[in-house]
A and B are shown apart, each in its own frame.
Chain A
Amino acid sequence: MRNFLLYHNNIAKSIHNSNKKGRTALIPFITIGFPTIDSTVPIVKKLEENGADVIELGIPFSDPLAEGLTIQRSSQIALENGVNLNKCLEIVKKIRSEGVKTPLVCMGYYNPILAKGINKFCEEAADAGIDGLIVADLPSSEAKLLVTATKKHEISLIPLLALTSNEDSIKLACKFASGFVYCISVLGVTGARKKVNSKVKELVKKVKVYTDIPVAIGFGISKKEHIIEIGKYADAAVFGAALIEFILSNKKNLPEKNAEIFIRNLSKKNDQIGKNYENSWR
């Protein structure tokens, strides 16, 4: 049985191990069933082989209101490919059966989870090999039922915090957070940006007052420079839209080849800043 104490949480441990090597942990995001149903398993394997410390798998939804155009498009393509929540869990099982050991985190919207039943979903997700869960339209104040269910089935519930989050929300999120805390670096939706918003540094600082688990930064992250920048004050970087755009725009390569090229590029020289993990892992 997995133990939920800090050092035994798969996700936190994986981020921590990366930090110990002086690296910023990499958390790529890919929509399940994009660009085809059969792409997900090979993409995930390539991401694992080339430096992913945690892998985020997007559950497609008809109305993804936190997403920019790129991830909206990948969700739409996945839905057209016939992906639904059951199919997602099947694909996760397949990923595990092919030997992928990297912690897997699902990111999705609340309604598909509700439609299945919160408890049933958590049970089946844990069974399929999911380690963590992020729900884009479920703020901490509405998360009570999911907190209980994820605890019961030993899935980490990863809260999102924003530049606008007040002290109370930060405190509440840190209370139930497990795996890592996800800080949104922009005011806005997902999608590649030119620069990392420096204001997110303040948010990370506030979060670290309330929790010792790793802090990841996401939304807008697209380049190696961003990863290096983030590594100065946070533990992990999440990137999705830029990866998906890369897959969409280099159609002569297989999707998994594109995933490999993309993450290798981000992974290179990632340890140059000589990350002091003691600082982020108290």
Chain B
Amino acid sequence: MEYYKDNQIPDQNGRYGDYGGQFVPETLMAALSELTQAFEAIVNDRNFSEQLNSLLKDYVGRPSPMYYARNLSQALGGEIYIKREDLNHTGAHKINNAVGQVLLAKKLGKNRIIAETGAGQHGVATATVCAQMGLECVVYMGEEDIKRQAPNVYRMRELGTKIVSVTSGTRTLKDAINEAIRDWVTNVQNTHYLIGSAVGPHPYPKIVREFQAVIGKESREQILEKLGKLPDYVVACVGGGSNAIGIFSGFLSDLTVQLIGVEAAGEGLNQKHAATMARGKPGVLHGSMSYLLQDEFGQVLEAHSISAGLDYPGVGPEHSYLKDTERAKYVSATDEEALSGFKLLSKLEGIIPALEPAHAIGYMQSWVRKLPKNSVIILLLSGRGDKDLETVSNILNEKI
């Protein structure tokens, strides 16, 4: 694991071992190399980090708290700390990356921003930052997701963003990304594609990790300050994997800290699911090589999850690498377990989680019991659950 300390991952070709790379139409290659150069330049630019940090502090509301969940700890066992990304402006971790990339786009002189969104959290974050900075914003969203995440659609519209309903393929996140890439190929000269997850061609997985790394950096400092020691476990949900890679990145070199990513097992791993790393095989989708849900002929399979944000047949390339090198462990939780986690955190701690991190809570319900008594666990609560109330109440047949 010396690799991480040297910051050699990804390499200059955007490779995480065999994963990553740049598998996109040739038209985009120049834009990717322009983006890589601009990104490498701002990473060490003091002006840029001052601007970014000031927005993160005063606009996003960082640092987000690290909360000791006493009731949850008593119920499940262990010492559970919750990293509260749900308290950020717009209600999820997605805004960390949106702020960073919009600033980057401004450096590139691009005045039009496009984004894809699944649960709508990334779309809302992007729409929000574009409103604040006065940039044109277009968000691609699957028709299916528009239905199940209606509150976020209203929010984006209020923020002045144009929403394009994607009706091709499975009408979810995967197809929204296809459509956004098609837009980018067409408008590459004035448009920045603001990818919201740690997926896509190099340098996107690296950019998204860098802008989400603030979660891991803060978490490490906060837990050391509270306990004077590192946690035993860090747990986060994984769809594309941006929140997970953000918090993992703070602990990669701390080999005593076990990193656990929770994928969506949907109706079960032998039914419809979105557990890419549990059930997929390496392949190429959306510009990078990574684990992928696909049939024997290499056609991409439809993913299924109760949560729109995890409903994706791919995963960020760095997660594939962390899985193969066994630096992180990937498990899964079903729709049912996620619903149970959703209810548990709401009742015990007065925090309504988004359905995405509810998968992590669902997994913890059975898992934490098996751990030594005073194990310290950081649970990353990537977003709040207001957007999911309708979905949850429909399923549980409780009319609002």
Which residues of chain A have a CB within 8 Å of any CB of chain B? Answer: 61-66, 68, 72, 76, 79, 84-86, 109-116, 136-142, 159-166, 169, 184, 187-189
Nearest-CB distance from A247 to chain B (Å)?
Answer: 20
Does B298 lie at the interface of the complex (its beta carbon under 8 Å from any beta carbon of A)? yes
- 0 or 1 for each of B166-196: is its CB under 8 Å from A? (1 = yes): 0011000011001001100111110000000
Pairwise interchain contact A160-B25, C-beta atoms closer than 8 A:
yes
Q: Are the CB atoms of B285 and A139 closer together than 8 Å?
A: no
Contact assessment for B22 and A66 in the assembled complex, using a CB-CB cutoff below 8 Å = no
The 8 closest A-B pairs by CB, nearest first: A115-B298, A112-B298, A84-B297, A162-B27, A188-B186, A164-B30, A111-B298, A62-B299
- Chain A residues in 8 Å Cβ range of B24: 65, 137, 139
Hey, which chain B residues are within 8 Å of A112, CB to CB? Answer: 297-299
Closest CB of chain A to B285's CB: distance in Å? 6
Question: Which one, B22, B29, B187, B287, contacts A165 given CB within 8 A?
Answer: B29
> Roughly how many angstroms separate A201 CA and B185 CA in the complex, as a whole number?
19
CB distance from B310 to the nearest CB of A (A): 19
B21 an interface residue at 8 Å Cβ cutoff?
yes
Name which residue of chain B comes closest to A83, CB basis. Answer: B297
Which interface residue of A76, A140, A169, A187 has the most chain B CB atoms within 10 A?
Answer: A187
Smallest Cβ distance from B256 to chain A, in angstroms?
37
Q: In whole angstroms, how far apart are the Cα atoms of A23 and B202 in the complex?
A: 42
Contact across chains for A142 and B23 when beta carbons are under 8 A apart: yes
- Find B178's partner among A63, A76, A115, A163 (CB 8 Å cutoff): A63
B residues engaging A (CB < 8 A)? Answer: 13, 21-31, 33, 168-169, 174-175, 178, 181-182, 185-189, 281-287, 292, 294, 296-300
Residues of B within 8 A of A116 (CB): 297-298
In the assembled complex, the Cα of A86 lies from the Cα of B21 at a distance in Å of 27
Collect the chain A residues with CB atoms within 8 Å of residue B31's CB. 164
> B297 and A86: CB pair below 8 A?
yes
* Of the residues B21, B188, B281, B297, contact of A142 by C-beta under 8 Å: B21
Q: In the bound complex, do residue A65 and residue B25 qualify as a contact, i.e. CB atoms below 8 Å apart? A: yes
| Cβ-closest chain A residue relative to B287 | A137
Q: Are A84 and B27 in contact (CB under 8 A)?
A: no
Cβ contact within 8 Å between B26 and A162: yes
Q: Are B300 and A62 in contact (CB under 8 A)?
A: yes
Q: Say how far A49's CB is from chain B's closest CB, in angstroms.
A: 32
Q: How far is the CB of A240 from chain B (nearest CB, A)?
A: 15
Cβ–Cβ contact A66 & B185, under 8 A = yes
Q: Is the CB of B29 within 8 A of A169?
A: yes
Minimum C-beta distance from A41 to chain B (A): 21
Per the bound structure, the CA–CA distance linking A115 and B300 in Å amounts to 11
Given contacts A111-B283, A113-B298, A116-B298, contact A139 B26 (CB under 8 A): yes
- What is the chain B residue whose CB lies nearest that of A85? B297
Shortest C-beta distance, B298 to chain A (Å), equals 3
Q: Is the CB of A111 within 8 A of B168?
A: no
B285 with A111: CB separation less than 8 A: yes
Smallest CB separation, A33 vs chain B (Å)? 13
Residue pair B188, A164 in contact (C-beta under 8 Å): yes
Known: A66-B25, A79-B299, A141-B29. A111 touches B292 (CB 8 A): yes
